[in-house]
Amino acid sequence: MSYTLEINNLCISCDYCRLLCPEKAILRSDQQYNIESWACTGCGLCIEICPVDCIKVATSGKEKE
């Protein structure tokens, strides 16, 4: 199963995840953060460091009902 990570609106823009990401997959524009799914390896470091627990795994692609 493929998955991507999403940052929800509880983000406080602390920048920890972007600085920590070994793949540099987290980008900041203005005060918004986005995770480039093509660059993300799913290591989960950003989820661990996020102080407000706002990075979530989102399943992608079609799933059977």
Contact 6, 50 (CB under 8 A): no
* Cβ count near 36 (within 10 Å): 14
Tokens found for residue 61: 């692609």
CB 11 → ligand SF4: shortest distance, Å?
Answer: 3
26-55: contacts with ligand SF4 (CB under 6 A)? 33, 49-52, 54-55
């918004």: which residue's tokens?
32
One of 4, 16, 34, 37 touching ligand SF4 (CB under 6 A): 16
Q: Could you list the residues that contact ligand SF4 (CB under 6 A)?
A: 7, 11-17, 33, 49-52, 54-55
